[in-house]
Amino acid sequence: MKILLTAFEPYEQWPENSSWLALVDLMREGSLCFDLVTRRYPVELPVLRERLYADLQQGFDAVLHMGQAPGTPVVKLETVAVNFAGRVENCGEELSEVLENGPAAYRSKLPLGNWANLLRENSIPAVVSYHAGTFLCNATLYLSLHYGRTMRHATNVGFIHLPLTTKQVASAALNMPSLPVEVLASAVRLLIDDLCSSSSAFSEGDSLADHRKSYSNRSSAEVERENV
């Protein structure tokens, strides 16, 4: 199974991004049961769009995006991406579209409820979320789902928001919720392992929950890192 796993670069006051920290920690584990391509995307929509579309053309079986969500105490599994692009400080203003004349929203077909239960069963706090915001995290999910729909690529796409790592909060002397980076990496590992244990034969519009099969072939992870 070929999976694209993405994270974001640092932005604004954050010298590190918990999504990238979790990805790096995950790759230290080794012995992964899938072929993995990783990316670190910039926090600039035009460049992000260009690199994302170039990556999606490689024809992945599944795509899992990750982003940092300061202030959240849990792993958030995003359900919906909307066709709006704007910053939090633009609240109250009319926002532009992620994609001109695109559908109002897309919904992920991944088994997010099952995933939330899986993480909680492993002592990792998690919830299903119905609002990925209106900035780059939402745009990444929206564009990926749109590409799969319009190009008829049978790719399952998801986005998870991660809390800050404990080290990020301690280093900045902040009073904010966090989780150890090892816990975040474990969460990502559990979700990808679940993808791996599901069928590779996805039909258009179906979810992984409809195709529960086991993988017998195991291969080492091939990591492609793109520095920004």
Q: Is residue 223 part of a domain?
A: no
Alpha-carbon span 77 to 132, nearest angstrom: 9
Residue 91 has pLDDT above 70, yes or no: no
Residue 225 has pLDDT above 60, yes or no: no
Token readout for 94 is 């009319």
Q: Is residue 228 part of a domain?
A: no
What CATH code is carried by the domain that includes residue 69?
Answer: 3.40.630.20
Scanning the chain, the segments in alpha helix (DSSP H) are 18-29, 45-56, 112-121, 136-150, 166-171, 181-196
Average pLDDT of the chain?
84
Q: Is residue 224 part of a domain?
A: no
% residues pLDDT > 90 (the chain) = 67
The count of domains in the chain is 1
Q: Is residue 73 part of a domain?
A: yes
Token readout for 22 is 């979790």
* pLDDT on residue 99: 92
Rounded to two decimals, the pTM is 0.84
Token readout for 194 is 């679940």
Residue 88 has pLDDT above 60, yes or no: no
Digit-coded pLDDT (tens) for 37-76: 999 999 998 999 999 999 999 989 999 999 999 999 999 9
Q: Is residue 220 part of a domain?
A: no
Q: Residue 212, Cβ neighbours under 10 Å: how many?
A: 11
- DSSP H or E segment with residue 76: strand 75-78
Q: Is residue 78 part of a domain?
A: yes
Cα angle 123, 128, 131 (rounded to 5 degrees) comes to 140
Domain range holding 148?
2-210
Q: Is residue 189 part of a domain?
A: yes
Digit-coded pLDDT (tens) for 2-37: 999 999 999 989 999 999 999 999 998 766 666 899
Per-residue pLDDT band for 196 (boundaries 50, 70, 90) equals confident
Average pLDDT score over residue span 208-227 = 34
Q: Tokens 């704007």 sit at which residue?
A: 86
User: Which positions are catalytic?
Assistant: 78, 137, 161
Strands 105-107 and 80-82, sheet pairing: antiparallel
CA distances from residue 4 to 23, 55, 145, 222 in whole angstroms, order as listed: 12, 8, 14, 11
Q: Is residue 221 part of a domain?
A: no
